[in-house]
């Protein structure tokens, strides 16, 4: 397997690495990253395996995904003033695995609206996968038609627009349409996306951890705190008002301020 697709913004300074959620891609972090680069940071945007322009895998696991992220960080080398690793949703579980498996690569950890627990609320994502797979790409004439066909599976236009960012077309007037995510894999292994599995002997991550929740999201609940602090004993929870699960896109200014302050902390 070739390496992950990456975008590096900024020439120097403390490095912040971003890992997106399910059906996302590195470019989803571009606005936040540009603001941070203007403040003297260097930002690395990753397309996780089976997403964006990164290669596909035959199976899904958080440990395997974290290992591929680790390869990219090893290849890039160390950064000035250390590395902060940020992960949202699925990416949050990836970076938690990364910090536990390779703490040498993570000076600071930021987990956005995700906990180290098994989630049962993946039915909506399974519905999205089925709706995306149901579109006959060989007969598709334009993006508006795809939007209409996906409306039953994803009635919220914001969610639907997010999903349709993954619909691409080969160059040329007759270019074929295709989905960037590995939909067959996620349809087959969605239960692994919901899971949280670790070896019993896993040692806690000793570094500083910022745990960010959206006030209007139910992905982080009070009963998740013991599991989080057992593995990440220094975790500090910050809840951002007027934000749901996509905290960084719903409240980008506040999110960026909180992240920048943490990334500069000692």
pLDDT tens sequence across 27-72:
999 999 999 999 999 999 999 999 999 999 999 999 999 999 999 9
Residue 120: pLDDT over 90: no
Residues 25, 50: Cα–Cα separation, whole Å = 10
Instruction: Number of helices (H) and strands (E) in the chain: give both, helices first.
Output: 10, 9
Domains, the chain, in order of start with CATH, read 6-117+196-264 (3.40.50.1820), 123-191 (no CATH)
* H or E element, residue 194: helix 183-194
Tell me the catalytic residues. 89, 184, 245
Residue 175: pLDDT over 90: no
* Average pLDDT along the chain: 94
Note the pLDDT of residue 265. 84
Note the pLDDT of residue 81. 78
Residue 84: pLDDT over 90: yes
Instruction: State pTM to two decimals.
Output: 0.95
Beta strand pairing call for 236-240 and 209-214: parallel
Cβ atoms within 10 A of the Cβ of 157, count? 10
Residue 122: pLDDT over 80: no
Cβ atoms within 10 A of the Cβ of 18, count? 28
Residues 142, 161: Cα–Cα separation, whole Å = 14
Residues 7, 17: Cα–Cα separation, whole Å = 10
121 confidence band (pLDDT: 50, 70, 90): low
266 confidence band (pLDDT: 50, 70, 90): low
């Amino acid at each position: 397997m070739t390496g992950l697709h990456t975008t590096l913004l900024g020439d120097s300074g403390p490095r912040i690495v971003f890992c997106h959620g399910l059906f996302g891609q590195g470019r989803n972090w571009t606005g936040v990253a540009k603001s941070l680069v203007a403040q003297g940071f260097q930002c690395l945007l990753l397309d996780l395996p089976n997403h964006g322009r990164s290669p596909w895998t035959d199976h899904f696991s958080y440990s395997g995904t974290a290992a591929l992220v680790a390869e990219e960080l090893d290849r890039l080398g160390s950064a000035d003033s250390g590395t902060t690793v940020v992960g949202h949703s699925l990416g949050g579980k990836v970076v938690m695995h990364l910090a536990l498996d390779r703490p040498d690569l993570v000076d600071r950890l930021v987990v956005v609206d995700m906990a180290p627990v098994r989630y049962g609320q993946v039915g909506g994502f399974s519905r999205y996968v089925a709706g995306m797979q149901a579109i006959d790409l060989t007969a598709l004439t334009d993006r508006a038609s795809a939007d209409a066909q996906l409306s039953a599976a994803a009635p919220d236009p914001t969610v639907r627009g997010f999903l349709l960012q993954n619909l691409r077309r080969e160059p040329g007037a007759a270019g074929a349409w295709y989905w960037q995510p590995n939909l067959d894999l996620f349809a087959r292994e969605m239960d692994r996306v919901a899971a949280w599995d670790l070896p019993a002997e896993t040692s806690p991550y000793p570094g500083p951890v910022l745990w960010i929740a959206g006030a209007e999201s139910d992905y982080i609940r009070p009963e998740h705190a013991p599991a989080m602090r057992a593995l990440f004993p220094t975790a500090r929870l910050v809840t951002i008002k007027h934000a749901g699960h996509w905290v960084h896109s719903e409240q980008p200014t506040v999110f960026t301020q909180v992240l920048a302050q943490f990334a500069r902390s000692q």
